[in-house]
Structure 1
């Protein structure tokens, strides 16, 4: 279980993350991006976290993360297409 982001995107950038398996968190801050055909799991935090960002998640599975599968903060815009987010929040009170 990973506690720190595996992929961190910060700043006015656009990034595409394609066809991968990630054991840990993907974090977007003040940026734009697409996550397509990925599995994101076993993070010690959230699977995907975005702060002041625009994100599209397509054909993905996000599961078994300690807190949230997806956490959107500070006016982020998230579009989810044909994806599954499940079995997250393994701690009490999440």
Structure 2
């Protein structure tokens, strides 16, 4: 029984994970906002404080979701590393177990 492995597919997956991780990092740097939206942003609008607070909660949720996505992408990357290590170790073990010519 052998291992059917497509190294190109693994490499493409690693590139895709890295690309998405880079995009996520660029977006995630903006959350939560360094300067939270205050009521003054909305002028004399009635309920400006409540609106600013709601925006703050949305930013908090977005920040949490971005953190979850980052964590999952990191997990995929670690899994790919583990797969590559296991295949390398299996190949090395197989080569050592073969009779010499």
TM-score between both structures, scaled by the size of structure 1: 0.22
Structure with larger RCO (C-alpha < 8 A, sep 6+): 2
Relative to total residues, which structure has the larger strand share, 1 or 2?
1
